[in-house]
Structure 1
């Protein structure tokens, strides 16, 4: 006999409406002013529905990121055969996003949400620097840069790049394309001229 679940079944329509509302409100008001009450009112659900499915607003924000509803431009990196060019293009997109006041606040809000909740931090880390994104691209680049060998610390290189993004986001100082290339030289290595 299979166990039965008590309580209402989670509605996928309601879940998506809550996530879409959260993403929109986060962009509009930022993490600090985002409230469960505001999300519930706009999404047309009760607060108890939200709290039944998520522990906190941080958890909802993290699910929005994982679902690709936030910072979509940060979650895709092309694979052209030139890892430095691909990562330079990606970092330029990330820093252009930071330069946009709406997106800058959103990225800072994700940093705050991560600091607020360790579960959120793990999900954000996995989404941005995990095996499906940055770390995967670095692994695919074995041999394309001096520091990308079969035994390279791919996760640590990814985290160094993401750390630079976080630091620049908090300082409100996006990197220029020249600074991005120097960062990539420092993390991926340079070939002798």
Structure 2
């Protein structure tokens, strides 16, 4: 993730310190949530200095991203229901995700991951492969089933609809003060 320092410059990085920092971060998130998480608290819990933390990661968001991409911190999975009624299934799915964003821990964690993804291209790719990508693929598949059953407009592009649904989730996560359209209206418009 972070490039190693050339030999002979500064102190070498300790894998033991790195693992302790990751463990401390995971524990602190579990105890008091992401909002309360600070690099100073991580360093203290790990028994290292803040400089050591910053040698490995530029921000607490990047530490969280590494925990997610390594599978040590998981995001809640929200499967897309399949009752045979596409509009209702997608509305239920989107409402569940929107409701989860009301949980301060989940909302702030999502913001941390978006921040990490915007800061590091490698993290962005890994986070896509681990979270957004599987959701997008599942949406495209479910939309294709709905299209085959005549539940999607004849000229609709199922990939574009999936993109818009993922964008709807991100819009809601990134703009908590906004007054977005009801999820049912979004779904109805997209399936048009």
Q: Please, what TM-score do these two structures have when normalized by structure 2?
A: 0.63
1:96 aligns with 2:102: no
State the match for 2:87 in structure 1.
84
Aligned length: 175
Distance 1:25 1:112, change over 3 A: farther
State the match for 1:111 in structure 2.
114
**8 Å contact 2:100–2:107 — kept in the other structure?**
yes
Q: Distance in 1 between matches of 2:99 and 2:169?
A: 11
Structure 1 residue 119 displacement after superposition? 2.5
Structure 1 residue 180 displacement after superposition? 0.8
Distance 1:77 1:104, change over 3 A: same
Structure exhibiting the larger radius of gyration computed from Cα positions:
2
State the match for 1:3 in structure 2.
none
Which of 65, 68, 74 is the matching residue for 1:65? 68
Q: Please, what TM-score do these two structures have when normalized by structure 1?
A: 0.63
Q: Distance in 1 between matches of 2:72 and 2:169?
A: 19
State the match for 2:173 in structure 1.
169
Structure 1 residue 109 displacement after superposition? 2.7
Superposition CA RMSD, Å? 4.1
1:27 aligns with 2:33: yes
Q: Distance in 1 between matches of 2:139 and 2:67?
A: 23
Structure 1 residue 78 displacement after superposition? 3.5
Q: Distance in 1 between matches of 2:127 and 2:178?
A: 20
State the match for 2:10 in structure 1.
none
Q: Distance in 2 between matches of 1:14 and 1:160?
A: 40
Q: Secondary structure at the match of 1:76?
A: coil
**8 Å contact 2:110–2:173 — kept in the other structure?**
yes
Unaligned runs of 5+ in 1: 1-6
Unaligned runs of 5+ in 2: 1-12
1:186 aligns with 2:192: no
